[in-house]
């Protein structure tokens, strides 16, 4: 513990953003990393508690007090070693993770928690700037080959872990570039493509092969899911060519809203906007959806909805309204009840600060149009009693809308992928694979494993990294009889 009284003397530093007017003119990241001095002070706030709840609050179990102290001591390279020991991609989580570790911080009981996320990002950004992140190819090859289906955080984490213990790894991706929703689902103003590309370059030097534009099983992909595939590979071909297969394709099927008028021009799934915009940002075709001077309604109050808000404002929307079915949460949680668990409370993102009207406890009844084109949304207010919603009689109202983005989450993986392998599914349509006991992450099909959202359902990037790492250990043990990889 570098400074025993640090938490009493030093206040948390809040993220500093570019002014709204400035950042709305571009799609680059606008949150600068902490300076060395600021990171040192933030590290000094860590109390090095006897029981560091932050470690368990973090899905990858980052050894947080240790790297906080090392940053306080300005021992950056050892801080990097500690950080990388549990997290393959801290540059991703340091940007887009909601930081459940901070919700579990002991200091957060009666003060602002330690700025763990900003310290994590400061470590890894400094490491990249100084050339400390280098390839770690295996010294000895095992002769075993592993196929990974999906190049999101779960697939990439599993790939890197397996390559480093000597297996030959090939990652298959149906879209035209590697990264899954890291690349195309998260706007560049939160996670720039260059941040992903530098890590992929390291992984290629470690011997990992990437095959893009390749779909596994079937090209029959549901509406709302981008598919750039030009090649179809069957499960039989994979199973014949590889010693193990990991399914890490995510939970891509978007939740739809089947109300009258759903077919109108102007009603889109959120990722139709977000993926097209990210492709345009790297020199692709112009986004076919343009919110300039349009009245935009975003249905769904989560991160994807927030991303639609930020993107629409960058287009120059006339107005943006975000709707949520649930009632408005409290602005401040009751910490005596919820700590150290993730609290339900009102969260205002940087995109919200750029301009949006937010409305809660409202239900969409109909999309209204003229000549097949969206013009408005009919809504009704809800009264929530004992966790059940009831429409309020006489509360119907209408919002002008030229564009609607459905950002209500994702229901399950693409069924054709799991069906083509013959993998047993759970009640929600996810790949059925336990994380307990013998055969963790193993599906009902011999030598086929599942990790990330394809197994657990829609979740966080940090949970995907955890599952990818853990599945890699199970695959290594399956192939070699035992594993030295961390659990």
Two tokens at 142?
A: 């095992």
pTM, rounded to two decimals: 0.97
pLDDT, position 438: 83
Mean pLDDT of the chain: 96
Alpha helices in 326-411, H assignment, sequence order? 335-338, 350-353
pLDDT, position 266: 98
* Neighbour count for residue 477 (Cβ, 10 Å): 15
* Cα 11 → chain centroid: 29
* Neighbour count for residue 277 (Cβ, 10 Å): 25
User: In angstroms, how far apart are the furthest CA atoms of the chain?
Assistant: 72
Q: What pLDDT, in 10s, does the model give residues 270-327?
A: 999 999 999 999 999 999 999 999 999 999 999 999 999 999 999 999 999 999 999 9
Q: What pLDDT, in 10s, does the model give residues 25-62?
A: 999 999 999 999 999 999 999 998 889 999 999 999 99
pLDDT, position 345: 94
β-sheet with 403-406: strand ranges across: 267-269, 403-406, 295-299, 319-324, 357-360
Q: What pLDDT, in 10s, does the model give residues 440-457?
A: 999 999 999 999 999 999
Residue pair 115/31 in contact by the 8 Å Cβ criterion: no
DSSP H/E element including 405: strand 403-406
Cα–Cα distance between 145 and 245 in angstroms, integer? 9
pLDDT, position 76: 98
- The full set of domains in the chain, from first to last, is 6-130 (1.10.1060.10), 145-253+410-480 (3.50.50.60), 256-406 (3.50.50.60)
Residue 1 has pLDDT above 70, yes or no: no
Give the pLDDT band (50/70/90) at residue 125.
very high
Rounded mean pLDDT of 166-179?
98
Q: CA 255, 256, 260 angle in degrees (round to 5)?
A: 160
Give the pLDDT band (50/70/90) at residue 14.
confident
**Residue owning tokens 């929600």:** 428
Cα–Cα distance between 114 and 101 in angstroms, integer? 9
Among 216-220, 266-270, 367-371, the least confident range: 216-220
């Amino acid at each position: 513990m570098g400074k025993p009284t640090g938490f009493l003397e030093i206040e948390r530093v809040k993220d500093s953003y570019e002014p709204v007017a400035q950042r709305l003119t571009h799609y680059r990241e606008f949150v600068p990393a902490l300076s060395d001095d600021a990171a040192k002070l933030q590290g000094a706030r860590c109390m090095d508690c006897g029981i560091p709840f932050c470690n368990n609050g973090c899905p990858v179990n980052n050894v947080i007090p240790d790297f906080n102290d090392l940053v306080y001591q300005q021992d950056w390279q050892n801080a990097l070693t500690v950080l990388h020991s549990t997290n393959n991609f801290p540059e991703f989580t340091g940007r887009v993770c909601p930081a459940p570790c901070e919700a579990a911080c002991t200091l957060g009981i009666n003060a602002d928690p330690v700025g763990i996320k900003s310290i994590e990002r400061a470590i890894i950004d400094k490491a990249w700037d100084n050339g400390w992140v280098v390839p770690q190819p295996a010294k000895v090859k095992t002769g075993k080959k592993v196929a990974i289906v999906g190049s999101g955080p779960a697939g990439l984490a599993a790939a890197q872990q397996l390559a480093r213990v000597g297996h030959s790894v090939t990652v298959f991706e149906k879209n035209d570039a590697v990264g899954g929703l890291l690349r195309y689902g998260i706007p560049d103003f939160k996670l720039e493509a260059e941040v992903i590309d530098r890590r992929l370059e390291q992984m290629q030097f470690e011997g990992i092969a990437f095959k893009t534009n390749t779909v596994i099983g079937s090209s029959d992909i549901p509406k709302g899911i981008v598919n750039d595939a030009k090649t179809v590979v069957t499960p039989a071909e994979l199973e014949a060519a590889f010693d193990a297969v990991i399914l890490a394709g995510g939970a891509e099927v978007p939740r739809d809203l089947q109300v009258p008028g759903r077919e109108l021009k102007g009603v889109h799934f959120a990722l139709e906007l977000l993926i097209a915009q990210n492709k345009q940002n790297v020199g692709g075709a112009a986004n076919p959806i343009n919110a300039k001077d349009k009245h935009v309604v975003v249905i769904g109050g989560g991160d994807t909805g927030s991303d639609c808000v930020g993107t629409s404002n960058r287009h120059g929307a006339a107005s943006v309204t975000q709707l949520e079915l649930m009632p408005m949460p409290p602005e401040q949680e009751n910490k005596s009840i919820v700590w150290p668990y993730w609290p339900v409370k009102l969260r205002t993102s940087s995109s919200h600060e750029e301009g949006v009207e937010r409305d809660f406890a409202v239900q969409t009844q109909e999309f209204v149009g003229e000549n097949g084109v969206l013009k408005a949304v009919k809504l009704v207010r809800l009264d929530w009693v004992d966790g059940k919603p009831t429409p309020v009689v006489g509360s119907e109202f209408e919002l002008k809308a030229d564009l609607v983005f459905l950002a209500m989450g994702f229901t399950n993986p693409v069924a054709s992928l799991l069906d083509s392998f013959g993998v047993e599914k759970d009640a929600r349509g996810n790949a059925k694979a336990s994380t307990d006991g013998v055969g963790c992450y193993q599906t009902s099909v011999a030598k086929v494993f599942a990790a990330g959202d394809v197994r657990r359902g829609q979740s966080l990037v940090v949970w995907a990294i955890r599952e990818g790492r853990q599945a890699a250990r199970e695959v290594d043990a399956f192939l070699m009889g035992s594993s030295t990889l961390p659990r």
